Amino acid sequence: MLDILTSQLLDPFRIGLIFFLLMTALRTRAAMGMAAPLAMGVVFIAILLTITTAATQPGSMPEKIGLGIVANLVILAVLLAGWTVWERSRRQG
């Protein structure tokens, strides 16, 4: 289980999808807010990538989707922390 989570956390395609999900959410936050689009995107990406790469990883489909959601949330948390630091440094400078 830990090997699946590690491979998902280091997947550059997953990281890119989460990055552009965040960029899209930031651009549309005035109309839609941030929480709902990010939550739906995290779940969508986890399901999409699990279905397309299901044969390459051991384990059951619900387990892989659950681990994908966890991995996506960790990646999103790191990206949100980076964005927050970026915004604070722009305001102070």
- Give tens-digit pLDDT for 36-67: 999 999 999 999 999 998 777 778 899 999 99
DSSP character string of 24-86: HHHHTHHHH-SHHHHHHHHHHHHHHHHHHTGGGS-S-HHHHHHHHHHHHHHHHHHHHHHHHHH
**pLDDT over 90 for what percent of the chain?**
78
> How is residue 64 written in tokens?
């892989």
Instruction: Provide the greatest CA pair distance for the chain.
Output: 50
- Residue type present at position 58: P
Q: Give the Cα separation of 39 and 72 in Å (integer).
A: 10
Q: Is the pLDDT of residue 5 over 80?
A: yes
